[in-house]
Structures are given as structure tokens and as C-alpha cells.
Amino acid sequence: MTTTNDFAKAELIARFSTLTLLAVGLVELIVSQFTHSMGLMADSVDSLADAVIILIVWQGLRLSKKAPDERFHFGYLKVESLAALFASILMTVVASTLLYYSYLRFLSPQVISYPLAALVTLLGAGGVALLRAFQMNRIAGTQHLVSLKTAAHNSIKDASGSFLAFAAVLTATFGFTHMDAVGGMIIAVYLYLVAYTSIKEASLVLTDACHRPELVAEVKMIVERNHPVSVEDVRLRRTGQYVVGTISVTADGNLTLNQLSELRTQIRHDLSDHISGLGRLSVVFHPRRPQSLEPA
């Protein structure tokens, strides 16, 4: 289960990434103005858009920590997935803009001025993005944070886009001037692909989809192996970084309320000890019918 310290790390990397992207994007934008490189311009816009995206992710992480209240009885955990959805939609807008202007530059290519400055800037931007992606992906993987994983994937895309733009600018310096615009187009396509994947994952979480038959089987095995009950049904769903749900089991009908309460607590503890990322699980008991009443 994610701790307060884990969330603090996630917020810290999101805040640091926002500031880093702003700095990198502004440097790329300035250099692109006097080098006239469309690939560098596209990468700068991509970096600045990523800064806004991670800012959305950061705010989503902050809101998801709020305790349940009178309006949101189950808390704000899904805000984290909603932030990922908004960030992904923004990515598609940026991708469309980049694709349009890159196409215009493809129709009217320009010679790149000071190509060495453009190449050094792109190489540095790619290295920074790659380092940032590894940091966010490590934290997102251990905490099951959809929005932070979206930002990590976007940073990987950002790094590969910078290196691709580097290759396009390098090719353009050898006389293939159209390649500079082609680099901008490919960065736009990368954005579309990342946005599609992120929108799909966030939408599934927001609609309570949880197609994880192996997890259902593991829950059933742990409960039946350790307790004198039979699992009738397991219904799970993702809520933020947690998997929550309801487990319906049949137990001895002669058990008292205190015994059932203790059994419920033991089941929850066993599942939490064996399966990471579990949130609150409701355990519903049904009395086991006497053997004589079982259907033939």
C-alpha cells in the first residue's frame, strides 16, 4: 500500500520535472529562433507542453490524497486517473499543432543556421528527458500511479523525440533540408501514440474496468487456503493506485458476529500481506447451507 512518504516522493519528482521541462523547453525555443530548425522548435513545444502535463499530474496527486468527505464518500483517488486523462487529451492537441506546422515547413524547407548549436541543445534535452523518465517510471511502477506512469511514458517519448530530432537536424545539415520538418512530424506521431495509450488506460480505470483474472484467482486461492470458507465471487476495480472491491464468501452459519468480524479482519490482513497494491476490500458473508439441503 502506498505510504505518505511514497506520495511525497511522487510529488517531488513531479514538481522537479515541471521545472526541468520549463527550463529545457525555453532553452530549446530560444535556440530554435536563431537556428530556424523546425525539429528543434517541435521539441521545444513538446517540452513546454510536457511541463503543463506534469503540472496537471502533480495537482492530481495532491488532490487524490484528500480524505473522504460528505460529497466524495469514497475519497478522491480517481482524481489521479482523471488527471491522466486530461493530460493525454492535451497531448493530442499539441500533437495536432506540431503536425500542422511541420507539414508547412515540409512544403517550404529552410536551411538550418548554426546547426551545431541545434544539435548540442537536442542532445542535452534528450539526456535530461531520459533521466527524468527513469525516475518517474520507477516511482510509478512501485506505487501503481496511472498519472505518473503517463508522465513517465511521455518523458520517454520526449527523450526519443529529442534524439530523433537530433538525427533529423544532422541529416538536414548534409543537404536533406526536408528531414528537419520530417523530424517534427514524427515527434507529433509519437505524441499521438502516447496519448492514445494513456487515454485508454485512464478511461478503463474511470469506468471501473479491471480485467485481471490472475489476480481474482490469487485472491480466491489465498482466502480458501487459509480460512474455512468458500469464495463465491470476487469483484475488483482500480481506484487511483489501489485495487479495491468485494469478496463474497460462504461460511459456517453458526458463527457469531464477533467471529465473523475477526474472520473478516484475518482475510483482509492475509490478502494485504500477499498482494501489493490492495486497498479496502469488503468481505460479504453468506451462511453455508446444511449438507442435507444441498441440491442433488
Q: Using DSSP, how many helices (H) and how many strands (E) does the chain show?
A: 8, 3
Looking at residue 68, what DSSP letter applies? Answer: P
Q: For the segment 58-114, what is each residue's pLDDT rounded down to a tens digit?
A: 777 677 777 778 888 777 778 877 887 888 888 898 889 889 988 998 998 888 888
Which of 200, 20, 32 has its CA nearest to residue 102? 32
Domain ranges in the chain? 4-206, 213-293
Residue 141 pLDDT grade (very low, low, confident, very high; cuts 50, 70, 90): low
Q: From 1.20.1510.10, 1.10.3720.10, 3.30.460.80, 3.30.390.50, which CATH number describes the 4-206 domain?
A: 1.20.1510.10
pTM: 0.69
Looking at residue 292, what DSSP letter applies? Answer: G
User: How far is 34 from 113, CA to CA, in rounded Å?
Assistant: 7
Which of 166, 198, 149 has its CA nearest to residue 42? 166
Return the CATH architecture of domain 213-293: 2-Layer Sandwich (3.30)
User: How far is 221 from 175, CA to CA, in rounded Å?
Assistant: 65
* Fold agreement (4-206, 213-293): no
Q: For the segment 183-228, what is each residue's pLDDT rounded down to a tens digit?
A: 888 888 888 887 888 788 888 888 888 878 898 999 999 999 989 8
